[in-house]
Amino acid sequence: VKLLLVGMNHRTAPVAFRERFAVQDPSEFFPRLLAFEEIREAAIISTCNRIEVILLLDRDRIDWGSEWLRYEFFRQLAGDEPLPAHDSLEQMFYEHREREVVRHLFRVSASLDSLVVGEPQILGQIKDAYRIAQENKALGKVLSRIFEHAFATAKRVRHETQIAEGAVSVARVAVSLGKQIFENFEGKTALLIGAGEMIEAAVKALQVEGLSSIRIANRTFSRAEHLAAEFSGTAHTLEEIPTLLQEADVVLTCIGGDGTILDKPQMTGVAKLRRGKPLFVIDIGVPRNVAADVGEIDNVYLYDVDDLSEAAEMNAQQRREAMFLAEEIILEEEAEVTRWLSSLQVVPTIRELCATAEQIRQQEQNKTFARLDLDEQQQKAVEALTRSIVNKLLHVPLVRLRESGASEDGAKHVEAARHLFGLQHEEEERNPSEGGQGEKIPVRSTSLSSGEDS
Amino acid sequence: MILTLHQIAALFYLVASLAASYGIGMGHLRARRFGVGALGAGFLVHTLALGFLHQEPTPPPLSDLPPAISIMVWISVLFFLLMRLRMRISGLVVFVAPPAFIGTTYAALYFPVASEVVAKQEVWSHLHILLSSGGFALLALAAGAGTVFLVANRVLKDRRPKARRLELPSLEALDRLNLISLSVGFPLLTLGLITGILWSRVGEAELAKHAPHVISSTIAWGVYVGLLIARLGVGKGYRQPPMQAAKSAIVGFVILFVAIVIVGILK
């Protein structure tokens, strides 16, 4: 059997395409995948940034699987509306086979392939994909093992590298800075000056951290009211800012217009009235809304958009550096899984070899029994003798085959064994239907060890 | 056994210091956590060491400097670990563990041999040492929190992101630690002074004999009264701003250190 992965992600396809292939509920697509006999196991990963299908296929059906996924399955996902021209769509898909699938899944789970490297959500999404595939009885021994190993690898990468450390978005950097001033944001009051998208993103991040009270001051009062309704805050005019500043713990400014709206003399007065209570000011406006020298006032901590961007970029760089170590971990883990997969490939050959030997033994034994008039005791003795000879003859080749299964040359040894012992090739053995349409397999059993693939 | 356990505790405190320094300097979360764990392990061994004091038929006098320092370290680590349960102050291990290592190492090297003379004023002396060591340790912790507050404030004011990578505890947590340490440490110091006076009288020692030590300690205590009034904002209706509180805690502890340790040595 062979592993195949076909998919598209944020690097290969724009969101306009990805959203066409996004799967809300992968469960409804498993019957279509599992209807084919050639597909032994399957999993569907669908997130905002990627849609991927992983299949465990019969060895000779991998090309068919690739084409079927691209031209049939993904088209089904896209629905009835016309898709872009064929050529451009083809470029949006990527494909991995065999150990590349393992490496890719490990990289995705460890968040090395994410839009924001090191983001933690992807692991949960992969676990969801695993769970859904399990619920739909689409997983067998092979994919289950690979997924479980992917989770362990992701955990190892997270613990042994700095891949997930440091905020990499302006909003998260603001939260991280705030946590160096306040123990937490619970019970804290934020004053938002302006009502743009940047402010919204920062407030959402702060609200996740427990920010409770929000006041919004804006030139256009209706816009302030709209945002206040969204964040359960209160709307104010710009004239109210001096009063609001006295009660605020966090000030977020991003408002258009020339000149600053908060200057040092004004903020010095506010700081005095606040009696040393710390004030965290984030100025993400361009041009800046707060005079730079406001940061010199005791207990006032001012950061502008460049400060935040610089910190975000530095953390992103740190994560990129951590990727080298993470890739090494993934290669190590991938090698382990590949060894295991290789060891599985000898199982059908061993099974077949034993079956062939037993068949020959029985044929020859029956011929002998027909020629000689042996009593029951004598027959048992002959049977034991032939069985013993066969077992002894096969013992060393079988041991060698098992040992070589885990090595890189495993496939060559399997091939050699099949040739030497005259075993039929899998392709010759099976009589695959031309269209690939086969009998539906209701429950996925452990395909490799059960010999279904040979 | 007491010496061996002190040596083991010192080793744990050293490991905690190194792990916490590496964790803070390199931004390594696991190293920081390991530092906290090592500090906790050192504390347990340290507790065992002090527990063995009771098993000694003739325990060494606590008024000797090595046992007093050992107790001081033990109380400050205990208080820090308790505070850590309520606040995100793990980053402070880097400031707590090194003095703990130095203190226990000193105690391990110079721990007195068992005294054959059991003073009749033993209760007062033990109370005096325990209370004043506790007070001294907590006021030292308040000063430590104040120092880290000033460093953290400087780091936050510095706009270069590299400077902010130290990942110190939040200013709010440091200020709270300062306040709690001061609020608990000052009453302990006060009781320590009172029991010290009682110890001198019961022992029929002349108070005048300890005059410089008593006078300097009383002056330091008076300074702390003033600091506490300012800190709690008695009469003003509002608490002292965190920055001033941090500076006050440092100044107060320096005066206390001179009054108790330097004057004690000179005496």
- Neighbour tally for B160: CB within 10 Å: 12
pLDDT > 70 fraction of chain A, expressed in percent and rounded: 91
pLDDT of A284 > 70? The answer is: yes
DSSP conformation class of A215? E
pLDDT bracket for residue A438 (50, 70, 90): very low
Q: How far is CA A272 from CA A128, A297, A302, B164, B206, in A?
A: 53, 10, 17, 26, 51
Q: Distance (Å, rounded) from C-alpha B199 to C-alpha B261?
A: 19
Residues 6+ away with beta carbon under 8 Å from A42? A30, A33, A34, A53, A54, A55, A56, A133, A138, A139, A143
Give the pLDDT confidence score for residue B37 in this predicted structure. 93
Give the pLDDT confidence score for residue B238 in this predicted structure. 72
Q: Do A165 and B29 touch (CB under 8 A)?
A: yes
Is A48 an active-site residue?
yes
Contact of B168 with chain A, judged by CB distance below 8 Å, is answered with: yes
Which residue has better confidence, A265 or B118? Answer: A265
Contact of B237 with chain A, judged by CB distance below 8 Å, is answered with: no
Span A30-51, mean pLDDT?
A: 90
Q: Do A278 and B30 touch (CB under 8 A)?
A: no
Q: Distance (Å, rounded) from C-alpha A127 to C-alpha A150?
A: 10
pLDDT bracket for residue A430 (50, 70, 90): very low
Of B27, B156, B162, the CB nearest to A301: B156
β partners of residue A262 = A290
pLDDT bracket for residue A384 (50, 70, 90): very high
Burial of B51 (0-12, 13-18, 19+ CB in 10 A): exposed
Q: Distance (Å, rounded) from C-alpha A176 to C-alpha A282?
A: 12
Span A130-152, mean pLDDT?
A: 94
Give the pLDDT confidence score for residue B267 in this predicted structure. 61
- Neighbour tally for A128: CB within 10 Å: 14
Which residue has better confidence, A60 or A248? Answer: A248
pLDDT bracket for residue A155 (50, 70, 90): very high
Q: Distance (Å, rounded) from C-alpha A303 to C-alpha A182?
A: 15
Q: Do B170 and A181 touch (CB under 8 A)?
A: yes
Of A159, A181, A276, the CB nearest to B30: A159
DSSP letter string, B155-210: HHH---GGGGGG-PPPHHHHHHHHHHHHHHHHHHHHHHHHHHHHHHHHTT--GGGG
Residue type, A363: Q
Mean pLDDT of chain A: 84
Poorest-pLDDT segment among A150-164, A199-213, A400-414: A400-414
Radius of gyration of chain A (CA): 32
- 3-state class percentages of chain A: helix first, strand second, coil last, to nearest 5: 60, 15, 30
User: Considering only CB atoms, which chain B residues are within 8 Å of A159?
Assistant: 30
β partners of residue A9 = A50
Contact of B30 with chain A, judged by CB distance below 8 Å, is answered with: yes
In this prediction the ipTM stands at 0.80
Give the pLDDT confidence score for residue A117 in this predicted structure. 85
Contact of B176 with chain A, judged by CB distance below 8 Å, is answered with: yes
What is the interface size between A and B, counted as CB pairs within 8 Å? 58
User: Considering only CB atoms, which chain B residues are within 8 Å of A299?
Assistant: 241-243
Q: Do A183 and B170 touch (CB under 8 A)?
A: yes
Q: Which two tokens stand for residue B77?
A: 């680590």
Give the pLDDT confidence score for residue B89 in this predicted structure. 81
User: Considering only CB atoms, which chain A residues are within 8 Å of B167?
Assistant: 180
Radius of gyration of chain B (CA): 19
- Helix (H) / strand (E) element for A29: namely none
pLDDT bracket for residue A146 (50, 70, 90): very high
From A22, A23, A48, A181, the catalytic residue: A48
Span A381-401, mean pLDDT?
A: 90
Q: What is the side-by-side order of every strand in the sheet holding A279-283? A: A234-236, A213-217, A189-193, A250-253, A279-283, A300-304
Contact of B238 with chain A, judged by CB distance below 8 Å, is answered with: yes
Taken as a whole, chain B contains a residue count of 267
CB B127 within 8 A of CB B195: yes
pLDDT tens digits for range A307-345 = 888 888 888 888 888 899 999 999 999 998 988 887 777
Angle between helices B122-157 and A170-181 (to 10 degrees): 150
Q: Distance (Å, rounded) from C-alpha A39 to C-alpha A441?
A: 9
Contact of B240 with chain A, judged by CB distance below 8 Å, is answered with: yes
What pTM, to 2 d.p., does this model score? 0.68
pLDDT bracket for residue A135 (50, 70, 90): very high
* CA nearest neighbour of B176 among A48, A53, A182, A261: A182
Q: Which of B34, B155, B159, B247 to mutate to test the interface with A (most CBs of A within 10 A)?
A: B159
- Helix (H) / strand (E) element for A136: namely none
Give the pLDDT confidence score for residue B211 in this predicted structure. 67
Q: How far is CA B5 from CA A132, A216, B46, B48, B55, in A?
A: 55, 60, 7, 7, 14
pLDDT of A240 > 70? The answer is: yes
Give the pLDDT confidence score for residue A415 in this predicted structure. 83
Give the pLDDT confidence score for residue B52 in this predicted structure. 80
Which residue has better confidence, B59 or A291? Answer: A291
Give the pLDDT confidence score for residue A440 in this predicted structure. 35
Give the pLDDT confidence score for residue B203 in this predicted structure. 55
Q: Do A299 and B88 touch (CB under 8 A)?
A: no
Residue type, B66: P
User: Considering only CB atoms, which chain A residues are within 8 Å of B168?
Assistant: 180
Q: Do A278 and B28 touch (CB under 8 A)?
A: no
Q: Do A278 and B88 touch (CB under 8 A)?
A: no
Which residue has better confidence, A105 or A432? Answer: A105
Contact of B27 with chain A, judged by CB distance below 8 Å, is answered with: yes
Contact of B244 with chain A, judged by CB distance below 8 Å, is answered with: yes
Give the pLDDT confidence score for residue A451 in this predicted structure. 32
Task: Per-residue pLDDT tens, chain B, 267 aa: give them.
Answer: 778 888 999 999 999 999 988 887 777 778 888 999 999 999 999 999 888 877 766 666 666 778 888 888 999 999 999 988 888 888 888 888 999 999 999 888 877 665 544 544 467 777 888 888 889 889 999 999 999 999 999 888 887 655 556 678 899 999 999 999 999 999 998 998 888 777 776 555 555 556 677 788 888 888 888 888 888 877 777 778 888 899 999 999 998 888 877 776 666
